[in-house]
Structure 1
Amino acid sequence: MGCNPTQDGSIVESGWQELFNGEDLEGWTVKITGHEVSENHAETFRVEDGLLTVSYDGYDNFDGQFGHLFYDKPFSAYLLRVEYRFVDEQAPGGQEWAYRNSGVMLHGQSPESMGLNQDFPVSIEGQLLGGDGENERPTSNLCTPGTHVEVDGQLFTPHCLNSHSKTYHGDQWVTAEFLVLGDSLIEHRLENRVVLSYTKPQIGGGNVANHNAELFEEGQPLTEGYISLQSESHPVQFRRVSLYDLERYMDDQEGLKAKLEELL
């Protein structure tokens, strides 16, 4: 397998881009509810021991300060791979549903276009959940802040849809993959199998507050956007955030099929 240098000098093996360099947050932008773009309140997002860490040790109370860490470049068609784990205790004031809850936002708006008090970017969320040690709780689910999708050819308007994954209890590392092909197909994958799939991501619905609705047209297809990692009050760590850009294959279905067979 060959290695190729990227523009910033990092090494990409076999076409994979490491969005997180393991050292700092270069290439990423923070937006936290109630704070200006790039204001990393209480160092919510940081790198500790080579891990991209979401921490609340500087919070007296979470107080609805939902945060997102945006990669600085939008993408349209790609395979995204993240390795994550939940750790420690939830921040004081975090909602009950946010226990061991985080997410990877796909096809999102830019951080600069978010309102000061906006809670979530208009986006498609690959929801990451951890188990409580007893009950079943699938991960790699779908949530839709300001968006809709189609499931089995029908418009899906509820806010969330569970995947068919198993439950991951404790602080174990989990590898989640998201195959995103413009506005045609999105698949959530765990352990080399599809646990959720849907098509035609588009603007629509609610479940996002304090955004500028004039920026979004109901029914507008989501063909590209920003990737972001979420802070929802429970500490979480990422040791890898990798992306394989598939844009060059989108006009070559046979080439795309062959590449996906190689990658998956």
Structure 2
Amino acid sequence: MKTTCKIIAAVFALWSVSVTAYASDEWQNLFNGEDLSGWTVVKGGKYFDENSLDEESIYSVHDGSMRVYHGAPDGSVQYKALITHEKQLSGNFHLQVEYRWREGRYIPRSESKRDAGILFHVHSRNNQIWPSCLEMQLGDGQPGERNVAGDLWVSGKTLADVSSRDGFFNPDAPSEARGHGMRRFNLTRRRSEKPLGEWNTADIIVYGSARAEFYLNGKLVNEVRNMRKRVSSGAWAPLAGGRIALQAEWAEIEYRVVRVREL
């Protein structure tokens, strides 16, 4: 009986450690709360006018948080942008991002659901607005709508396996390949995002090229396995690492934590 209790306790501890915060000295902060050291911004050039913020202002730091589109007039025309960290992450790691939506929405999506994303295993050039990578979608839509926090996107020269039924993540469903081009995704069935203005915690637990799990506010919302990339020979090779990036897609969002921990 004692042995059984110990096993149950150990399993529970392992599950808990994957989605809860660790002591601060075990984390490496990728955002220091003071400036954007280590980060590079690239912007798209399709939508802009005299009210559009430039690279220096699309992402900015205020009161210890990274603000996206801070100060842009609501309903104005803005660039899409991407901010990428210089650090190469590989192996087994836990990436944690705390974010909240703010009010602003911008043309061409001033009437759309809010949209952003956490990109990882970015393996293409640093100046691409749509890099080759995997993405945990951030958005305030309902399951099945456009832009739902927890959806998976597989972009560019990337391929991965998902358990999917009718396009939705289902751990008991057969495995299917997704990727090698844009608009290849696996939807979450859960809406786990908090109301507008409240802080959310997104956790991406990565096990090299074998598996990545998405958690939102402590709930498992998606999973991807067997991640791979197309190399110069045209073959598919394991995708076990890369950079991370945060999207700006015409909705005001704020990040106060971006940190990583090796597992």
Q: What is the TM-score normalised by the length of structure 1?
A: 0.71
Could you report, residue by residue, the CA deviation over 1:40-66 in whole angstroms, capped at 9, with x for unpaired residues? Answer: 52510100121101116458523xx32
What's the counterpart of residue 93 of structure 1?
A: 108
What's the counterpart of residue 211 of structure 1?
A: none
Identity between Structure 1 and Structure 2 (%): 27
* Structure 2 Cα separation of the partners of residues 217 and 180 of structure 1: 25
* Structure 1 Cα separation of the partners of residues 63 and 233 of structure 2: 40
Once the 2 structures are TM-superposed, how far is the Cα of residue 223 of structure 1 from its aligned partner? 1.2
Could you report, residue by residue, the CA deviation over 1:97-145 in whole angstroms, capped at 9, with x for unpaired residues? Answer: 5x31100000003553x3xxx431111011111248xx89741210111
Which residue of 63, 77, 95 maps to 1:80?
Answer: 95
| Structure with larger Rg | 2
Unaligned runs of 5+ in 2: 1-22, 47-52, 164-174
What's the counterpart of residue 241 of structure 1?
A: 258
Which residue of 155, 178, 187 maps to 1:145?
Answer: 155
* Structure 2 Cα separation of the partners of residues 49 and 111 of structure 1: 31
CA spacing shift, 1:47–1:215, aligned 2, 3 Å: farther
Which residue of 167, 173, 176 maps to 1:154?
Answer: 176
Unaligned runs of 5+ in 1: 1-11, 205-213, 247-264
Tell me whether 158-167 or 78-87 shows the greater mean CA deviation. 158-167
Question: Do the aligned residues in 1 keep the contact of 2:77 with 2:106 (CA within 8 Å)?
Answer: yes
Partner secondary structure for residue 37 of structure 2: coil
Structure 1 vs Structure 2 CA RMSD: 2.9
Q: What one-letter code is carried by the residue in structure 2 that aligns with 1:130?
A: D
Question: Do the aligned residues in 1 keep the contact of 2:192 with 2:219 (CA within 8 Å)?
Answer: no
Partner secondary structure for residue 144 of structure 1: strand
CA spacing shift, 1:243–1:216, aligned 2, 3 Å: farther
CA spacing shift, 1:167–1:189, aligned 2, 3 Å: closer
What's the counterpart of residue 223 of structure 1?
A: 240
* Structure 2 Cα separation of the partners of residues 233 and 218 of structure 1: 36
Question: Do the aligned residues in 1 keep the contact of 2:154 with 2:178 (CA within 8 Å)?
Answer: no
* Structure 2 Cα separation of the partners of residues 78 and 216 of structure 1: 29
Equivalences for 1:109-124 in 2 at 5 Å? Answer: 109=123, 111-112=125-126, 114=127, 118-124=128-134
* Structure 2 Cα separation of the partners of residues 189 and 245 of structure 1: 17
Tell me whether 167-176 or 69-78 shows the greater mean CA deviation. 167-176
Could you report, residue by residue, the CA deviation over 1:188-237 in whole angstroms, capped at 9, with x for unpaired residues? Answer: 01233321111012236xxxxxxxxx868453321110001111111110
What's the counterpart of residue 77 of structure 2?
A: 61
Could you report, residue by residue, the CA deviation over 1:161-209 in whole angstroms, capped at 9, with x for unpaired residues? Answer: 21233253322111010001110000001233321111012236xxxxx
Which residue of 102, 113, 119 maps to 1:105?
Answer: 119
CA spacing shift, 1:150–1:96, aligned 2, 3 Å: farther
Question: Do the aligned residues in 2 keep the contact of 1:83 with 1:240 (CA within 8 Å)?
Answer: yes
CA spacing shift, 1:137–1:231, aligned 2, 3 Å: closer
Q: What one-letter code is carried by the residue in structure 2 that aligns with 1:16?
A: W
CA spacing shift, 1:215–1:68, aligned 2, 3 Å: farther
Q: Which is strand-richer, 1 or 2?
A: 2
CA spacing shift, 1:95–1:145, aligned 2, 3 Å: farther
